[in-house]
């Protein structure tokens, strides 16, 4: 991943900085962080939640044990910073030494998606970021049929 691509993605994810987590949804296939402003960070890639440099829970643990207690510690915490590595691994660093690490395990498929004010961002480990504008700026279906779009 080029430095400019990484910086672009990191800039988009910086919208999470200062935002607090209102809820966490998870199952064995997906992790979804929902922020107080209704923005979301969603991943289907391997991930792990670190608490003060110790592994608290990882994506492989979800089907075997409940993690409500672990995720309960995230509610209300704010994101301090976001880091994207050269290979696309992504870290959301929270208050109180909590870190969510998402491992880019594919060059072709989604690593994560972010639903932010700028739109819907989809990031893949293969140096590709797609930004879909928010629905409020897309032309309405009637505009297409009338030829005004």
Dihedral sign (CA 71, 42, 31, 37): positive
> Do 92 and 49 contact (CB within 8 A), yes or no?
no
% of the chain with per-residue pLDDT over 70: 79
Residues with Cβ within 8 Å of 79's Cβ and at least 6 positions away in sequence, in order, are 16, 17, 18, 19, 92, 93, 94
Which among 26, 33, 6, 25 is positioned nearest to 98, based on CA atoms? 33
Residues with Cβ within 8 Å of 143's Cβ and at least 6 positions away in sequence, in order, are 149
Instruction: Dump pLDDT digits (tens) for 59-107.
Output: 888 765 556 777 888 889 999 999 988 888 899 999 999 999 999 888 7
Q: Is 144 a residue whose pLDDT tops 70?
A: no
Q: How many domains does the chain have?
A: 1
Domain with 50 in it: 3-146
> Do 112 and 43 contact (CB within 8 A), yes or no?
yes
CA distance 10 to 139: 28
Find the CATH number of the domain harbouring 134.
2.30.310
């Amino acid at each position: 991943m080029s430095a400019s691509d990484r910086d672009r993605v990191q800039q988009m994810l910086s919208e999470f900085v200062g935002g607090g987590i209102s809820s966490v949804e998870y199952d064995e296939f997906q992790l979804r962080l929902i922020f107080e402003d209704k923005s979301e960070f969603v991943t289907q890639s391997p991930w792990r939640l670190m608490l003060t440099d110790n592994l608290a829970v990882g994506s492989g643990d979800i089907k075997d044990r409940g993690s409500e207690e672990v995720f309960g510690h995230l509610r209300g915490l704010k994101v301090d910073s976001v880091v994207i590595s050269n290979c696309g691994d992504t870290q959301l660093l929270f208050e109180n030494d909590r870190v969510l690490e998402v491992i880019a395990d594919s060059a072709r498929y989604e690593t994560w998606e972010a639903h932010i004010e700028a739109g819907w961002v989809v990031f893949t480990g293969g140096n590709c970021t797609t930004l879909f504008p928010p629905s409020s700026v897309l032309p309405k279906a009637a505009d297409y049929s009338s030829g005004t779009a």
